[in-house]
Amino acid sequence: MREYDYIIIGGGSAGCTLAGRLTEAAERTVLLLEAGGSDRKPWVQLPIGYGKSFYDPSVNWMYYTEPDPGLDARRGYWPRGKVLGGSSSINAMVYMRGLPADFDDWAALGNPGWGWRDVLPYFVKAEDYRPDGEGPHGTGGPLTVSEVSRECHPLCAHFFSACRDAGWSFRGDLNGTEAEGVGYYRITARGGLRMSAARAYLRPALGRKNLHVVLGAQATRILFAAGRATGVAYSQGGHPDGARARREIIVAAGAVNSPQLLQLSGIGRADLLARFGIPLIVDRAAVGMHLQDHLCIDHLYRSRVRTLNEELGTWRGRIRAALRYAAFRRGPLSISVNQAGGFARSDPGLSRPDMQLYFSPVSYTRARPGRRALLQPDRFPGFLLGAQPCRPTSRGQIRIRSADPSVPPEILPNSLATEHDRNELLAATKLLRRLAAAPSLAEIVAEELKPGIAVQTDAELLADVRRRAATVFHPVGTCRMGPDAATAVVDHRLKVYGVAGLRVIDASVFPAITSANTNAPTIMLAEKGADLIVADEAAAASQAREVR
């Protein structure tokens, strides 16, 4: 069995970041296992191609939740990247750090070293912010973050004017020093191509002799000896294989697959593992628990003026867009459809923003189940307003349904389980109505298509939320970090409680969900995680020298 210093399970946003950083020292050997394949696919590299990747099983785990009682027993669709770069290869590329208070909350929950001042240097380290923004940003880092306002639709100006009417200022940088306000979203792209974690961190490292990447390798279980993680069993092309780690194994498989792998390996709730005949390594009840996610409600409008529908909804328009992209790497194919948004307070009395807003100058009422054809919008002009409460209090869970690693785990989001969350989604839908009624948007709204003007009372609005609200694909917390092994899975150095030589480093360790999109903080976390590993490695070497 081959042996490496470190084995990283999962070549996603965190795994690619870790592989890139840990192999910077030539004497350190790293194996990266990725269940999916190469990201060298046109629809992965093309920014708007995520509409194709959204339902493509060759790059996507395509998970479905269990029927969710809070959402009229609907089964939610949860795309997760099964490809180098993970979900950073199939997401909408929006780069949002979150609010500084999010990370101060992490530290306040008993996680020293994770406050805003602690994590900011790692955001900066990761970034190649083009052009530089407001406040501290990085230039020359691996991850290009581009300002793309010149490619955005002119309809965004109406959204900004309506927000000003509502009291929210325009911000040139939504990751700047001022938390509240609206503006154009920056995206992880460079030269008109997606800047995934694979492109940013892994691609420059592939020529290093100390990095070995195995694709199509699904980890089946972690191997243990004398209370220490020593290796990984995996399957490639239906054939079993494995590798050993001299120093550590790092699970970076994401908020769904990381808890699944720990449970399959014997780390989890004892009664759950016993049900499937899995030998218990550590009774850790928190594995798979504390699942958090952002739930968003969209309002859909028919427009009196032209929108992106006219540009992308006809063959002639698509050909023009394709030619512009081919010649200049510009235009609507070079960016996301989530073009504008920001942070807002639904109540001026709140101490910090509680809503993230989205504006898309495009609509998709004719989209069929199982399709997200971003190049086939409605044939009439339309646009979307969306609002997402920042800090939900409902908690779900992930749990295995079989000892077979190929069987997807149960995903139970438990959406809208708390009165707080129901009230916030109700406030979100009222906020959207208030925005649409502002003169700058009212003058271009021909009709509110969804939920429709017949939906007026609180009961009717909440019923619409239950019927239509959906995830924006930000699951976190299922292997959360915390000071108490009874309620957490990893400590503040991301080490799994109860075993040696094992860490989890991905969004599953978030102790609380951040206020906005989760990809940027996931990459930040991996940057910091790599430094923690290197520091612990150096401390161990120093201790060994002292013993000698």
**SS3 label, residue 58:** coil
- What is the distance between the alpha carbons of residues 398 and 403, in angstroms, rounded to a whole number? 14
- Pairing verdict, β 2-9 and 239-251: parallel
User: Residues 153, 294, 474, 492: which is the catalytic one?
Assistant: 474
Distances (CA, A) of 248 to 35, 180, 322, 442, 490: 20, 41, 46, 58, 14
- Reading the block at residue 414, the tokens are 């438990």
Q: Are 159 and 359 in contact (CB under 8 A)?
A: yes
Q: Are 84 and 92 in contact (CB under 8 A)?
A: no
DSSP character string of 8-47? EE--SHHHHHHHHHHTTSTT--EEEEESSB-S--HHHHSG
**Within a 13 Å sphere around the CA of 270, how many CA atoms are in the beta-carbon half?**
4
Active site residue 474: yes
Task: Name residue, tokens 């990085």.
Answer: 138
- What is the distance between the alpha carbons of residues 488 and 482, in angstroms, rounded to a whole number? 5
- What is the distance between the alpha carbons of residues 131 and 190, in angstroms, rounded to a whole number? 12
Radius of gyration of the chain (CA): 23
Task: Name residue, tokens 């994401």.
Answer: 254
Closest CA to 224 of 278, 274, 265, 268: 265
Closest CA to 425 of 481, 469, 485, 369: 469
Name 522's Cβ contacts closer than 8 Å, sequence gap at least 6.
13, 14, 506, 507
Which residues are part of the catalytic machinery? 474
